[in-house]
Structure 1
Amino acid sequence: MEQREVLVVLFDGVQALDVSGPVEVFHGASQGEPGAYRIRTAGLDGTPVRTTSGLTLVPDLTLAEAGVPHTLLVPGGQGTRDPDPRLIDWLRGNAHRARRKVSVCSGALLLAEAGLLDGRRVTTHWMLCETLARRFPALRVDPEPIYVRDGDVATSAGVTAGIDLALALVEEDLGRDVALAVARHLVVFLRRPGNQTQFSVQLAAQTAERRPLRDLQQWITEHPAADLSVDALADRAGLSPRHFARAFRDEVGMPPGRYVDRVRLEAARRRLEDTADGIAQVSRHCGYGTPEAMRRAFLRVLGTSPAEYRRRFQPARPPVPAA
């Protein structure tokens, strides 16, 4: 079996979970398939680095001593805001030789600064997507997915999305059974699809300035199966349909119909994840009316059916020990 070296770049101000999450995934895979991965960490000088949370990590070696890894993993953290120029120089001169380049969260800023993401479709933490797109216009930044694969480059959103991406890479390398065993051990999902949105509709949308519209946003979230037509919502807000549609779009940042679509999709996702309700019951509870209407919404936005979404997204449960 080919041994794949995973080299994790460390620097002052790194996010500890961006490092430990993927490392635990690759380590777990090596327990199931001995020798599958060799995991090493490297820093500029090989000296201990301090994470954003105050933990100290000690690199295995310096970046200068590192060879060409199979997978180069660049985590994020506050240290990506003003990185050491030597780190960027090393990435620019060496990272392209790795078979896979992977970033977690704001680690994408380091890869972009080194010129490794030009022309690529990428993502990062949703709070940083606008910054990434503005600073590096040659990138195609997609703010919604939890991770994006583009050729030999993979970028992911914040913190836990690094675990999702690592599980996807293990599944690609060693198969679904190994990845599932790792997920069970870590008690995480196997696996959130990469095009799963990284934030809720409440985070994606703006909060309306006027109290009636703010209250209406909350009411929509709590009543996805209600009549959420423009006329019905306008009546609840005490406005004419035309005035309501214009005010909602101006203050929330999207038309009311699109907001309702997102709320219903999110409600359906949560119900598929958290309950054993049947597909027809979920579709009625979330305002779709029919399973077919919900299926079309899932395929359009997530690229998967509700049944497949549930299969992938249900938490992996450890097997019950034999008596």
Structure 2
Amino acid sequence: MVRKIVFVIPPAVELLDLAGPMQVFEEAKFYGFELELEFYSLQNSISSAVGLPFGNIPSFLEAELKQGDFLFIPGVDFEVLEKLLETELIFFDWLANCYQKQVIICSVCNAALFLGKAGLLDNRECTTHWRRVELMQMLFPKAKVLNDVLFVKSDTIYTSAGISAGIDLALSVLEELTNPLFVNKVARGLVVYHRRSHQHTQANIYLDYRNHINPKVHQIQDYLTENLSTEITIESLASMVNTSPRNLSRIFKEATQITILDFLTGLRLEKAKTLKSNPEYTIDYIAAQCGFKSARQLQRILKK
């Protein structure tokens, strides 16, 4: 099924709020995930917060959204936002209607205030740019506004903190639609590293230990992820990045805080758990696909 991602662009939009999430989904399309991206405007004439004009974009009223579609609303220049909160009553009614249809509504930065104005944040945990946390709590006292988190998911309402946090939210949405390994490819393609808020799912080996900038270690991590069933030695890995086994072990531990063996074992266990969900696979087949020497070794490690 082709998933639909819709962006509604307000006047004085913050460019990174729009371009960050949009690029995440465009990168996903590059890797073969079927997505339909659509763009609509809040007003007839749209330009960005820095004055960059947009072309002719259809009105949000023309968007056809259904249950399970995603709607992204990027943040805007704050002075313009204050005016929009008082004038765009039709838009707020439209947002409330989208919520009733179970469209998944995602705000980036201060666009969370649009959701509050539509009555979608009452008794709900949410977040926004740190500069607007106190204001949002004051304007919408029934909302449970959180500070110091990247994004919050509550039912079908997703809110994210300022600017680049929209990328984190988009990566998390993409993980809902695909899997952690695919998201890792997208994040690496964008040269960003997937971060998580405390509201998100538990950590995953494909995305952990990536918060570093050592290209050799990233190369080794990518190779290990994609070649679990092959025989792997520290000597062959070191040869790949033109260094010695001892030096590779050192720089890998410095960058990730774990050893190569621990990282490799984590990858193998994660894949084994995934394959075990298929009843047609025997334990011997799973062990072979994950690079374990025997089914007994896999079972022993799983028990631990």
Fold match by TM threshold 0.5: yes
Shift of 1:88: 2.3
What is the CA-CA distance between 1:60 and the residue it aligns to?
A: 4.1
Which deviates the most, 308-317 or 50-59? 308-317
The answer on whether the counterparts of 1:71 and 1:98 sit within 8 Å (CA) in structure 2 is no
The structural deviation recorded for 1:58 is: 3.2
Task: Show the counterpart of 2:161.
Answer: 157
Residues 304 and 166 (structure 1), Cα distance of their counterparts in 2 relative to 1, 3 Å cut:
closer
- C-alpha RMSD of the superposition: 3.0
1:126 and 2:127 matched: no
Q: 1:193 aligns with which of 182, 191, 196?
A: 196
2:301 aligned partner? none
Q: Aligned-pair distance for 1:118?
A: 1.3
Whole-Å Cα distance in 1 between the matches of residues 209 and 152 of structure 2? 21
Check conservation: 1:68, 1:98, Cα contact below 8 A. Answer: no
- Separation in structure 2 between the aligned mates of residue 4 and residue 170 of structure 1, nearest angstrom: 10
- 1:311 paired with 2:199, answer no
Tell me the secondary structure at the aligned position of residue 27 of structure 2.
helix
**Distance across 2 between alignment mates of 1:57 and 1:156:** 24
Label 1:88 to 1:315 Cα distance change in 2 as closer, same or farther (>3 A): farther
Q: 1:55 aligns with which of 52, 59, 67?
A: 52
Contact 1:22–1:162 (CA under 8 A) maintained in structure 2: yes
TM-superposition CA deviations, 1:31-69 (whole Å, max 9, x none): 21242x111111135x34111111123364221211015
- 1:41 equivalent to 2:42? Answer no
- Compared with structure 1, are the counterparts of its residues 316 and 9 closer, same or farther at alpha carbon in structure 2 (3 Å cutoff)? farther
Measured at CA, do residues 26 and 316 of structure 1 come closer, stay the same or move farther in structure 2, by a change above 3 Å?
farther
Q: Distance in 1 between matches of 2:137 and 2:214?
A: 35
Whole-angstrom distance in 2 between the partners of 1:193 and 1:175: 15
* Aligned-pair CA distance for 1:92: 2.9
Q: Helix, strand or coil for the counterpart of 2:18? A: helix
Shift of the 154–59 alpha-carbon distance from structure 1 to 2, 3 Å rule, reads farther
Counterpart position of 2:261? none
Closer/same/farther in 2, CA of residues 304 and 66 from structure 1, 3 Å limit: closer
Displacement of 1:122 in angstroms is 0.2
Q: 1:56 to 1:315 in 2, by over 3 A?
A: farther
Alignment partner of 1:182 is 2:179: no
Alignment map for 1:232-311 (pairs within 5 Å):
311=209
Which residue of structure 2 lines up, in the alignment, with residue 89 of structure 1?
93
Distance 1:96 1:106 in 2: 22
For 2:159 and 2:19, the matched residues in 1 are separated by 17
Would you say the 8 A contact 1:92–1:115 is kept in 2? yes
1:113 and 2:117 correspond: yes
The Cα of 1:130 is off from its aligned counterpart by 0.3
Query: May I ask how many residue pairs the two structures share in their alignment?
Result: 213
Q: Distance in 2 between matches of 1:64 and 1:303?
A: 34
The 2-side partners of 1:135 and 1:192 are apart by 29
Task: Give the whole-Å Cα distance in 2 for the aligned partners of 1:166 and 1:308.
Answer: 17
| 4+ aligned runs moved over 4 Å, structure 1 | 302-305, 307-310, 315-323
**Corresponding letter in the other structure for 2:83:** D
Deviation, structure 1 residue 96: 3.7
SS at match of 2:187: helix
Name the aligned partner's letter for residue 44 of structure 1.
L
Using the aligned pairs only, state the percent identity.
30
Residues 70-99 of structure 1: CA deviation (Å, up to 9, x unaligned): 001111112322214233233233344243
Which runs of 5 or more structure 2 residues have no equivalent in the other structure?
224-239, 242-304
What's 2:284 paired with? none
Cα distance, 1:315–1:152 mapped onto 2, change above 3 Å = farther
Q: Which residue of 2 aligns with 1:24?
A: 23
